[in-house]
Structure 1
Amino acid sequence: MLTPRWLLLHALFVAAAIATGFLAWWQWDRAHEAGGSFQNLGYALQWPLFGVFTVCMWVWLIRMELRGGHDAPVAVPEPASEPETPAAEDARPRRRPLVPPPASSVDADEDPELAEYNRYLAELDRADRQG
């Protein structure tokens, strides 16, 4: 928690929390002046919420750092070799591919506008792959 990176983060969070307090106070005073409005009052109530969010984020980052959340290994379940029953196969979550399969082609007779659009996209893809 005392590395240069964390000292800078601590200073940033303290400055942000203090700034939200000053901004809330300023808007509160502004709301009670002759030219003040309900908008200023709304901001006066909103700035402390930003300050609370800042402090919560600060605490969350510190707890995550102390727990070592960024270095924790991710547990990947081993896939079962063979399901015992058909019901077990249905209960197992199915993995979806990262890239969806290509859609079936559309003939110009079915939908000429969609077929033209697909040709345009294919031309863009060819041009992108060439360079």
Structure 2
Amino acid sequence: MTRMLTPRWLLLHAVFIAAVIATAFLAWWQWDRAHEAGGSFQNLGYALQWPLFGVFTLCMWVWLIRMELQQHDPPQAASDTSEPAEPAEPEDDGAARRRRPLVPPPAPPVEVGEDPQLAEYNRYLAELNDADQRAG
């Protein structure tokens, strides 16, 4: 729970609290405007709409907190204990949990006779990859 008290999270908490207070203030202001002489149904609609924005803000806040807590929770032990446990690897901002590679494996080569446009496009991509590898 102490990770919710880092400077980043304290700023996020402040922003979310300010947003909820602002939506409540705007709802109250529109409600007052709707009941004044120049008020209209549009003001009444806004008075009912601003609390929805506040609820959305609260839901997003809870969602972000839950994501942050899940990200740092240790993975659950597998139910099948017959396989040996893998050695623990240092965490790399979620890279250890990635189930699929960042870059998909290359597609099988295309024969020129099969589809000339696709073959030309693959040659172009290969040239771009080679240029990128030389530059980086």
Where on the TM-score scale, by shorter chain, does this alignment land: which range? 0.5 to 0.7
- Tell me how many residue pairs correspond in the alignment: 114
Instruction: State the Cα deviation string for residues 73-93 of structure 1 (Å, max 9, x = none).
Output: 223535747xxxxxxxxxxxx
Q: How far 1:108 moved relative to its partner? A: 2.0
TM, length-normalised to structure 1: 0.56
Q: Distance in 2 between matches of 1:50 and 1:114?
A: 48
Provide the identity percentage. 65
Q: Structure 1: which 5+ runs fail to align?
A: 82-95
Letter in 1 for 2:74: P
Corresponding residue number in structure 2 for 1:126: 130
Q: How far 1:130 moved relative to its partner? A: 0.4
Q: Distance in 2 between matches of 1:115 and 1:62?
A: 48
* 1:55 partnered with 2:33: no
Q: How far 1:30 moved relative to its partner? A: 5.4
Q: How far 1:121 moved relative to its partner? A: 0.2
Letter in 2 for 1:55: L
TM, length-normalised to structure 2: 0.55
SS of residue paired to 1:102? coil
Q: How far 1:18 moved relative to its partner? A: 1.5
Letter in 2 for 1:72: D
Distance of aligned partners of 1:21 and 1:112 in 2 relative to their CA distance in 1, 3 Å threshold: same
Letter in 2 for 1:121: L
Greater CA radius of gyration, 1 or 2? Answer: 1
Q: How far 1:53 moved relative to its partner? A: 2.8
5 Å-filtered alignment, 1:12-31, equals 12-28=15-31
* 1:112 partnered with 2:113: no
Distance of aligned partners of 1:116 and 1:8 in 2 relative to their CA distance in 1, 3 Å threshold: closer
